[in-house]
Structure 1
Amino acid sequence: MADEDDIPAAEPVLTTEPLSRAIGERYLTYALSTIMHRALPDARDGLKPVHRRILWAMRRLRLSPTGGFLKSAKISGDTMGDFHPHGDAAIYDAMARLAQPFNMRYPLVDGQGNFGNIDGDNPAASRYTEARITALTEALLEGIDETSVDFRPNYDGRLEEPVVLPAAFPNLLANGSSGIAVGMATNIPPHNLDELIQGAQALIADPDIADDALTALIPGPDFPTGGVIVEDPASIREAYRTGRGAFRTRAKWQIEDLGRGGWQIVVTEIPFQVAKSKLIERLAELINLKKVPLLADVRDESADDIRIVLEPRSRTVDADQLMGALFRNSELESRFSLNMNVLIDGKVPKVCSLKEVLRAFIDHRREVLQRRSQHRMDKIDARLEILEGFLITFLNLDRVIDIIRYDEDPKRALMAERWGKKHKRATDEKDYKSPPEQKGELSEVQAEAILNMRLRSLRRLEELELVAERDALVAERAGLAALLADPAAQWARIGEELDTVRKLYGKHTELGRRRTAFAEAGEAVEISAESMIEREPITVICSQMGWIRAMKGHVDLSVEQKFKDGDGPRFAFHAETTDKILLVAANGRFYTLIGANLPGGRGMGEPVRLMVDLPNDTAIVDLMIWRAGEKLLVASTAGDGFVVASEEVLAQTKAGKQVLTLGDGVKTALCRRTHGDTVAVVGENRKVLVFPLIQVPEMTKGKGVRLQKYKDGGLSDAITFTKSEGLSWKDPAGRTRTETDLRLWEGNRAATGAMAPRGFPRDNKFT
């Protein structure tokens, strides 16, 4: 015999195929497996395979709603070992979700122990928690032993598992579902069971019911955490019609009076799938970042219910404005996206409308009804066959006893005997009727039943009971046969079954009452810090060195003010605490100050450079009150400029906003409010140019266009005015002069102009 080492090894068989085909086929297999067996729910019972297997395993463990609890580790272990060959952690997470009342509108698992909470905390380990099924799960499983659904072998062929559950109520829409597959996803919100049953019954009554009529019965989702749906009804109808859309949901809140004018806002319900702890963190962040200045503090006083306390900044705050800002900046308002992508008949993924999903459910219920009815008829037929054998026994009792007593093979003898009516039995009972004469052979089933009959069953009352049972079964079978032959009767029966569920879990019950309300959204207003400021008059004073202060009230501007040694007055004007103050710097940047934030007028004020990031070597060109809707003329010392809207120069940060782009050695020359139709420009060379304002473009930022041409020097000042009223200035004596004949200085933009008229100010300024 040759050594094993001498036997040549078989050469491996190699096959070649394009990489794209190999990857494509394998990825398609994986994608189909994910879609069919993991991510998408079945439209009939609303369950994914993992949930269906968990509930089936719990039923096999005899966990009833009124029985004892069992360790979750045992449940997940049995599910994994018998039906779902995946990780026990994934199975336990799926089971825990079925027990969470803040995730499931109608929980299918009754949990005992820590199954997580609305703060986002995870459930305790499976060895610490216990569970059993709920009454609603029993409704999902009702009739499963009556061949109402198909079964298939489990993953190793040892056991069988249901392909789908009978589902006595539309669980898909009642509890919702979410999942992500390969190339598709699903996201279905929970709904109110009472409304769903009304919708299903309306669809049974009128298969062609309009989508709007169905939406009138099912107006929107009913989230387990409550809240208020503020989505437009037209958008909801469109979402239900197409199977895609979104539902905007807000927290439910109320004002709590604290007495003496004080109040606070209490949030009692939050949007679905929003973790309360993260919501509190977000609200605290808004307070720290001062994004919602109307909010002073947030406290979580929740116990078993939600109680989030929001403290306003002051008593004068408008509660609607505060909540509007919070809705806009936090998860107190969220959107739930609808993507009704489900498996039709457990095989075909499809994005369905609300009507199509309900149709899939009631069609499934009809099939369940037919299969259960047929199963019951088969059971009745089997029982009637045995009853016929028993009645033959009573009619021919002596012969039956004789065969059993003396025949070597009584079973064969009973089957071979030709049975007939032996004699009329005398009876004193008026209501008793002897069964009709029966002739023929006994079947094997009947013979076996007769041989297994107890002697005590041979008494006369038992015969009466058998006759009554037979008559009842015959009547029941006739009713079932009529039901299977009449579609209208089947739909009526389905409606009655739905009514039974509705009576148990309808709106009149604690579990069935609607939790999510409907309301109009209103307008969520962004609240700024200025809206909180009390409006009061002030006088703004800024020195030559940039020390600024705000004196209370409108003081006389001609009164001399005190300044530091070496400093003097520069800007002084009347304003209000609610005003925004524009600071125009020589570097082309605009800074924004709030009147209420300026230092008080008792001292010398504070350097403005502490309030904004103004470089030390940059001069202040102008300080003015900002007004909405105004146009500003800005220009550089090089003679370039443009018109800019006042809204474009507001700065949101201390760094300011770059509006005027400047070259080397060029600075901001001026910023003037525009009025009228004409521009007058004067250069350092004392030449004046007058041209139409329309020739100056409006920009948001940049260098601008040339206003006046200079051979030497640059721009000194510019002003806008109405040409018909003339150009005015003050002469060296302080008198106001007005020139209406401007033909000498008129021209087009970027011209050189002509020498200023006699008496024009020596500082080359119009004002």
Structure 2
Amino acid sequence: MGKSLIPPGGGDDNNIEPVDLKSALEERYLAYALSTIMHRALPDVRDGLKPVHRRIMHAMRLLRLNPDQAYAKCARIVGDVMGKFHPHGDQAIYDALVRLAQDFAVRYPLVDGQGNFGNIDGDNAAAMRYTEARMTDVATLLLDGITEDAIDFRPTYNEEDEEPIVLPGAFPNLLANGSSGIAVGMATSIPPHNAAELCDAALHLIKKPDATVEELVAMVPGPDFPTGGILVEPAEQILEAYRTGRGAFRLRARWHKEDGGRGTWVIVVTEIPYQVQKSRLIEKIAELLIAKKLPLLDDIRDESAEDIRIVLEPKNRSVDPELLMESLFKLTDLENRFPLNMNVLSHGKVPNVLSLRDVLKEWLEHRKEVLIRRSRYRHGEIEKRLEVLGGYLIAYLNLDEVIRIIREEDHPKQQLMDTFSLTDNQAEAILNMRLRSLRKLEEFEIRKEFDALTEEKKQIEELLASDAKQWQTIGWEIANVRKKFGPDTPLGKRRTTFAEAPNHDVSDIHHAMIEKEPVTVVVSEKGWLRAMKGHLADFSALTFKEGDKLKLAFHAETTDKILIFTTGGKFYTIGANTLPGGRGHGEPVRIMVDMENDQDIVTAFVHNPAGKLLLASHEGNGFVVPETETVANTRKGKQIMNVKAPDEAKICSRITGDHVAIVGENRKLLVFALADIPEMGRGKGVRLQKYKDGGVSDIRTFAIEQGLTWQDAADRTFTRSKDELAEWIGARASAGRMVPKGFPRSGRFS
């Protein structure tokens, strides 16, 4: 008998219902994910706010915290938001409120704070019982028309009250203040922009609804961060980001060189990238200084007061300030990338990644809907008032009869309605009139108001009937916002400027980040590498592991790149500064790079970008390669010479001169012109010398005018002139002739 899904009874088991765990989890997780996306993490494209911010604004409006009113304690605002609208923690609400007041976090603050609201160093705001707040002009623009049926309300979480689904949003808040949030399976990241530029783009879109993103980007050239900085992203990348709604912006700190007299100078940083904590930035630079990662920098000081002032002292006067800053940009948050991912709730319902044009279009559509709803509401209010005024006029024309009816009749309201054909509202209004308003002047005032309202009603009806008039009105509203936050106002002035990042040679920047010190690179036969401090003159004192010995050693600087050539024809690149120190026996090369186990090191040397190398395999194939082609950027190395087993790469020598001398294991020497060997970036090469059996023993390049030189085992130097080499000079790929008298038995030139 199979197990029952229903658990054993425990008293009243009428309510037990078997549920499949998988479907239950899916259903509940989906509900959680949707709630996070819709009600927490993503902003609405229409007002640019998340629910918590919208609820803060609404609560502040109900508390009448207008820009011209007194401040109220933040604790009171947070209490109202939490108690009536937002059933979450008070600290979360207060954090959101604080951020809306920080001028370094929000481009156009929605909250005007009084007290300690935190700073750019990352210090927190004071507790909510100490701080006070009220709304700013931007917030009042967002709320403008909320009482005129401009938007829908929904019941709050306990259904005791109502809250707005979206704000009327007369300010382009989504793009002007930006937004960021992480939902489930999606995120949003929108940088702040300049409101005047957004208004210009919106006005252009009203005039030309099919405007392209290129036209709009001409007016909104890029983000405008509250902390300023310099945008060094290429224009075409910015355009692409706005077209697709995804991208990133490279933002750099603003700096200038300040002369200190007698040739000394310092660099002063006055603006840092958005969302970078100043204190953390300075700590990071100080850590790099101590770790000797910034050899061009001597000291860093924070001299900031109200404005940012970070002072950087160079190591000496000859340091290039541009290069010093490039090294800092590369290693620290003085340069960062701000992502753009315009993932917003489109029409308040669907999460969608929108382009710049789509975002502005949806905002304009929302503004149109708000205008129509407000106009209809006003139309209704005017009709109600005109009805009452009509009743008043009838009362004035028949004042004595009205007074008689009110004084003598038992049911004056019904009698008034029957006698003068009044509506219920009109009769009620007449009965509620005060005696003082029966004076002569009042009739004139009522006629004036009646005519004015009739004219306004006519205008509203014309507006509601004409699409062109509606867009004209929206354009007028946006133009007013632009005037209020124009480029000539302190708040509206653009803070982030544009520039092109200077093109410095990557190797120069690389050098600027490494302290230049002399080292001796030591390579053992078994492939162990190390870097001894200083330039050693005597290599005989070097010690190795048992059974290992010196393969080669050479002098270098810590700023150099070391190239390693292996028998598999691959080149690997290692920074001399990354080599293990000389205290032990170093480390095996296979730990530093991904070198195959069946390959060995042929040679290692300091990279010279201007140099050329002659590569040769054991079987006598070879070619010339420019040294710049051999630099590998990854651990995997770079395959330059193609060799198939049993052949292997055997020789790599730097080229000097115009001729090649090659000697085989058969002790035959051949001399031919270097020009006969092709220059390639990669390949097998061409035949250099012909052998019946065996292969290459050694190769040397030399200048024919100076002759060929070699040393024998007793360190004696032999030189053969051009004429003396005549019988060995031949065509490339020929066999050559037996080596001249005095050539070393080792078959090598040195």
Whether TM-score is above 0.5 comes out as yes
Corresponding residue to 2:474 among 494, 497, 501: 494
Displacement of 1:122 in angstroms is 2.2
What is aligned with 1:628? 609
- Is contact 1:592-1:650 (8 Å) kept? no
Is 1:758 the counterpart of 2:741 in the alignment?
yes
What is aligned with 1:593? 556
Letter in 1 for 2:501: A
Displacement of 1:460 in angstroms is 1.0
User: How is 1:547-558 mapped onto 2 (pairs within 5 angstroms)?
Assistant: none
Q: 1:644 to 1:290 in 2, by over 3 A?
A: farther
Is 1:50 the counterpart of 2:52 in the alignment?
yes
Identity rate of aligned residues, in percent? Answer: 53
Displacement of 1:623 in angstroms is 12
- Is contact 2:613-2:653 (8 Å) kept? yes
User: How is 1:173-572 mapped onto 2 (pairs within 5 angstroms)?
Assistant: 173-416=175-418, 418-419=419-420, 441-526=421-506, 527=508
Report SS of the residue matched to 1:119: coil
What is the distance in 2 between the residues matched to 1:191 and 1:352? 16
Report SS of the residue matched to 2:456: helix
Report SS of the residue matched to 1:235: helix
User: Structure 1, residues 261-313: CA drift from partner, whole Å, max 9, x if none?
Assistant: 11111111111111112221222233223333222221111111111111112
- Is contact 2:152-2:166 (8 Å) kept? yes
- Is contact 2:67-2:134 (8 Å) kept? yes
Structure 2, unmatched stretches of 5+, are 1-8, 521-530, 542-547, 561-578, 587-601, 634-649, 683-688
Displacement of 1:509 in angstroms is 0.7
- Is contact 1:166-1:365 (8 Å) kept? yes
What is the distance in 2 between the residues matched to 1:138 and 1:405? 49
What is aligned with 1:61? 63
What is aligned with 1:147? 149
What is the distance in 2 between the residues matched to 1:623 and 1:252? 43
Report SS of the residue matched to 2:316: coil
Q: 1:497 to 1:636 in 2, by over 3 A?
A: closer
What is the distance in 2 between the residues matched to 1:156 and 1:698? 77
Letter in 1 for 2:336: S
Letter in 2 for 1:153: P
What is aligned with 1:157? 159
Corresponding residue to 1:741 among 715, 727, 731: 727
Displacement of 1:12 in angstroms is 3.7
Q: 1:55 to 1:13 in 2, by over 3 A?
A: same
User: Structure 1, residues 681-713: CA drift from partner, whole Å, max 9, x if none?
Assistant: 588xx956659999999999xxxxxx999x9xx
Higher mean alpha-carbon deviation, 326-335 vs 731-740, is at 731-740
User: Structure 1, residues 412-445: CA drift from partner, whole Å, max 9, x if none?
Assistant: 22222x23xxxxxxxxxxxxxxxxxxxxx22221
What is the distance in 2 between the residues matched to 1:284 and 1:234? 36
Displacement of 1:338 in angstroms is 0.9
- Is contact 2:327-2:509 (8 Å) kept? no
Report SS of the residue matched to 1:320: helix
What is the distance in 2 between the residues matched to 1:23 and 1:77? 34
Report SS of the residue matched to 1:593: strand
Displacement of 1:172 in angstroms is 0.7
Higher mean alpha-carbon deviation, 356-365 vs 99-108, is at 356-365
Letter in 1 for 2:102: Q
Q: 1:647 to 1:443 in 2, by over 3 A?
A: closer
Q: 1:383 to 1:287 in 2, by over 3 A?
A: same
Displacement of 1:759 in angstroms is 3.5
Q: 1:766 to 1:548 in 2, by over 3 A?
A: farther
Q: 1:285 to 1:698 in 2, by over 3 A?
A: farther
What is the distance in 2 between the residues matched to 1:128 and 1:456? 50
TM-score if structure 1 supplies the norm length? 0.76
What is the distance in 1 between the residues matched to 2:150 and 2:729? 102
Displacement of 1:216 in angstroms is 1.0
Displacement of 1:171 in angstroms is 0.8
What is aligned with 1:4? none
Displacement of 1:610 in angstroms is 12
What is the distance in 1 between the residues matched to 2:427 and 2:359? 51
Displacement of 1:137 in angstroms is 0.6
- Is contact 1:146-1:376 (8 Å) kept? yes
Letter in 2 for 1:332: L
Displacement of 1:522 in angstroms is 2.4
Letter in 2 for 1:630: G
Report SS of the residue matched to 2:727: coil
Report SS of the residue matched to 2:307: coil
**Which structure has the bigger radius of gyration?**
1
TM-score if structure 2 supplies the norm length? 0.78
Report SS of the residue matched to 1:186: strand
What is the distance in 2 between the residues matched to 1:640 and 1:474? 100
Letter in 1 for 2:251: T
User: Structure 1, residues 466-502: CA drift from partner, whole Å, max 9, x if none?
Assistant: 1111111111111111111112111111111112222
What is the distance in 2 between the residues matched to 1:34 and 1:533? 47
User: Structure 1, residues 6-39: CA drift from partner, whole Å, max 9, x if none?
Assistant: x994324444454433222222211111111111
Q: 1:175 to 1:184 in 2, by over 3 A?
A: same
Report SS of the residue matched to 1:741: helix
- Is contact 1:550-1:595 (8 Å) kept? no
Question: How many residues are treated as equivalent by the alignment?
Answer: 667
Report SS of the residue matched to 1:472: helix
- Is contact 1:590-1:651 (8 Å) kept? no
Displacement of 1:532 in angstroms is 11
